[in-house]
Chain A
Amino acid sequence: MYLKNALRAATALTFVATAAAHAQSITIATVNNGDMIRMQGYTDKFTEATGIDVEWVTLEENVLRQRVTTDITTKGGTFDIMTIGMYETPIWGANGWLVPLDGLSEEYDVGDILPAMAGGLSHDGTLFAAPFYGESSMIMYRTDLMEKAGMEMPEAPSWQFIKEAAAAMTDRDADINGICLRGKAGWGEGGAFITAMSNSFGARWFDEEWKPQFDQPEWADTLNFYVEMMTESGPAGYATNGFNENLSLFQQGKCGMWIDATVAASFVTNPDDSTVADHVGFALAPDTGLGKRSNWLWAWALAIPAGTQQEDAAKQFIEWATSKDYIELVAESEGWANVPPGARTSLYENPEYQKVPFAKMTLDSILSADPNNPTVKPVPYVGIQFAAIPEFAGIATQVSQEFSAVYAGQQTVEEALEKAQALTAEEMEAAGY
C-alpha cells in the first residue's frame, strides 16, 4: 500500500514537473501609453490561444530606453521582447543586437505594413522590429477660434499662414494663445520638434561629410521664426512645455493651434478629457514651399533581442500583437477610434476606420514623411526628427538645452547656434566622423 502511494505521488510529481517545463513565459519591456496598456489587457487571449504566459515590465519612456539599452549591450537576457522606436531599431539591427523578423507567416502579411514604417524599422532591407503603432505630427486647431479670426485653415498650410493665424487667434485677456509648441529640452521633446521644423526651412544637422550645419543661415531662419512667433502668440513659459503640457493647455481651450504627434488627436477629441472636443480640426504640418513639410515619423515597435532563449514564443507574440486580427479585436471591443493607428495599410482602407475624424490626416501625414530623404539638401543619415547614429541622442539633448535657453530668454539665437555648432563638431570628431 505504501509502495503504491509512493508510486502515485512520484507519477503526479513527474506530471507537474513536465507541465512546468512546458509552461513557457516571455517578458516584455514596454512604455506606458494608452495603446500599450490596452494591449496588456488583451494578453490573456494570446495566452489562451498559445499557452505562453506574458510578463510585462512597463516603464516611463526614458527609463525604458536606458533599461533596455543596458540589457541589450551587456547581453543580459532579461527581456524576450523590447518596445523600441525608429531611432534605436536601425542602429541595433546593424550591430547584430536584434533578431531579424524574417519568416513571418503568410497570414501576417508583412507587405501590409506601411512602407514608411517598414523602411524606418529596417536595416539593409531586413525588418528588425514590427510596428505596433505609428505616428507623424500634424496641426490640431480650434475651428471656432479660426472662424472667429476670419481665417480658413488650408489642408496644407505654410509657416507664414500659421504665424499670421496664431497672431489673429491670440487673445491674452481670455487666456488664449494662438499657438502651442514644444520648447522643452530633450532630444525627444523640443529637440524633435525643432529638428522636424528645421527640415521645412531647408536646414539639416550634417552635410554629406558629417560636418555640423548650425552655422548655416537655414538654422538661424528656423530659430528666429520660431522664437518670434512664440513670443507673439505662444503661452508664457513655453521653454518648459512638452507634449503633456501642451496637451493640457489645448484640452482646456487655451491654444488656438497645436502642432504635435498625430496620436494626440484621439485625446483632444475625447469629450471626457477635452473641453474643446467638438471644435477640433486637422491639417498637415506646415512648410515654407521648399518641398519638405515639418512633420516627423515615429513608431513604437516590438523587437526581439539577440540571445533570448524564447525566440519562437517572442515571434509568436509579435505576430499576434501587430496583426490585422488584433486591430479587429480592439475595434470590436472598444471601437475603431481606439485601435493602434499608423502601422498597417489595410486599416486605412477599412471603410469603418475611414469614418474616424483624424484617420485621413494621420495617414496623409505619415505618407508625406520620408525618413530616407528627410531634408531639402542631401544628408548622410536616416531619420526625420533625429539622425539614426548612436551619438545623436547625447548631442541633440545638449543642443536642445541650448535652444531652450534661447526660448527662456537666457541667450540669443546666435549664441545658441554657435555653441551648438561647437559642441556637435567636438562630439562628432571624438566619435571618429
Chain B
Amino acid sequence: MARTVTTRRKSLNTVLAWAVGLLIFFPILWTILTSFKTEAQAIASPPLFLNFNWTLENYAIVQERSDYMRFLWNSVIIAGGSTILGVIIAVPAAWAMAFVPSKRTKDILLWMLSTKMLPAVGVLYPIYLLFIRLGLLDTRGGLVVVLMLINLPIIVWMLYTYFREIPGEILEAARMDGATLKEEILYVLTPMAIPGIASTVLLNFILAWNEAFWTLNLTAVDAAPLTAFIASYSSPEGLFFAKLSAASTMAIAPILILGWFSQKQLVRGLTFGAVK
C-alpha cells in the first residue's frame, strides 16, 4: 500500500514538475513558433498554435537586414571576456575570504552585494563620460570591463560559498608539502572546486549575454551585441512581432544550446552543498 502511495506521489511530482517546466518555457516556445508565422498570423485572434502556414520568410528578412554574425561574435567576446576576467579576479578574493577570513569579511561581502542595489541608470552619466575620456565608447574591451565589474559581486559570492565547503585542512596539507600560494590555488583548490567554478562561469556568462542596459547604452556599431540586434526589431508603431520573434530566437539560440548541454553541470554546481 505504502509502495503504491509512493509511486503515485512520484508520478504526481513528475507531472507537476513537467507542468511547471512547460509553463516557464512557454513564452520561449511561443516566441519560436511566432517566428515561423506571417505578421498577420502572429496577431491572429484566437491565436494560432501549430495550425498555420509555416514560413522561413522572417529569418530571411532578418538575415538580409542585419549582420547577425557580427552581433553574435560581439556577444561571445563580451560575455566570455567579462566572465573569464571576473573569475580570474574573484578566485583569489574568494579564497582569501573563505580561508583567511578577517573580522570584516562578512561586512565586505555584504558591501560588495550592496553595489548591485543601485539602479544602473544612476551611474550611466559618470561611466559614459569616463568612456568618452578613455576612448572606450563602442569598444568590446570597455564592455568586458563594465560587465565584469557588474557581475563581480555575484561571482565572488558564489565562489566564496563553494570554497567554504572545501576543508581548509587539505590546503594546509598542501602548504606543509611545500606548495606556494599560487600552486595551492591552481593545483589543489581549483580542481576540487571545478563544479562550483563551472556553474559560476555558466551563470555569469548567461547574465552577461542577456545584459541589455549597458550593452545598449555604450555601443553603437562596432561592439553592438545581440541585445542591440533584438532592440533593432522592436517598434511601438508597427506590428513586426514575427520578425522580432525571429530575431529573438536567433539571439537566444546559442545560449539555449549552451544551457541544454551544460545543464547537468549547472544544476550540480548550483546545488553544491545544499543538502548538508
The answer to whether B217 and A252 touch across the interface, beta carbons within 8 angstroms, is: no
The answer to whether A32 and B239 touch across the interface, beta carbons within 8 angstroms, is: no
Binds B, one of A5-13, A55-63, A317-325, A399-407: A55-63
Please indicate the chain A residues that have their CB under 8 angstroms from the CB of B124 in the complex.
70
> Counting chain B CB atoms within 10 Å of each CB, which of A58, A243, A267 scores highest?
A58
Binds A, one of B187-195, B228-236, B254-262, B267-275: B228-236
The answer to whether B217 and A37 touch across the interface, beta carbons within 8 angstroms, is: no
Q: Using a CB-CB cutoff of 8 Å, which residues 237-269 of chain A contact chain B?
A: 242-244, 247-248, 251-252, 254, 261, 263, 267
| Chain B residue at minimal CB-CB distance from A264 | B237
Band of interface residues on B = 20 to 34
B3 within 8 A of A: no
The answer to whether B216 and A59 touch across the interface, beta carbons within 8 angstroms, is: yes
A37 shortest CB reach to chain B, Å: 7
The answer to whether B44 and A29 touch across the interface, beta carbons within 8 angstroms, is: no
The CA of A254 and the CA of B44, in the complex, are separated in Å by: 12
The answer to whether A78 and B137 touch across the interface, beta carbons within 8 angstroms, is: yes
Band of interface residues on A = 35 or more
Please indicate the chain B residues that have their CB under 8 angstroms from the CB of A27 in the complex.
220-221
Q: Using a CB-CB cutoff of 8 Å, which residues 62-97 of chain A contact chain B?
A: 62-63, 66-67, 70-71, 74-79
Please indicate the chain A residues that have their CB under 8 angstroms from the CB of B216 in the complex.
59, 63, 67
Please indicate the chain B residues that have their CB under 8 angstroms from the CB of A251 in the complex.
40, 43, 239
Please indicate the chain A residues that have their CB under 8 angstroms from the CB of B45 in the complex.
248, 252, 254
The answer to whether B236 and A67 touch across the interface, beta carbons within 8 angstroms, is: no
The answer to whether B217 and A70 touch across the interface, beta carbons within 8 angstroms, is: yes
B97 within 8 A of A: no
The answer to whether B235 and A60 touch across the interface, beta carbons within 8 angstroms, is: yes
Across the interface, A243 reaches (CB within 8 A) one of B44, B220, B233, B237, namely B237
B165 shortest CB reach to chain A, Å: 42
A410 within 8 A of B: no
The answer to whether A248 and B239 touch across the interface, beta carbons within 8 angstroms, is: yes
B218 shortest CB reach to chain A, Å: 9
The CA of A74 and the CA of B237, in the complex, are separated in Å by: 29
Of the A-B pairs whose beta carbons lie under 8 Å apart in the complex, a sample of 15, sorted by A's number, is A27-B220, A29-B220, A32-B240, A37-B65, A57-B221, A59-B228, A59-B231, A60-B234, A63-B231, A70-B124, A71-B128, A243-B237, A248-B43, A248-B45, A252-B45
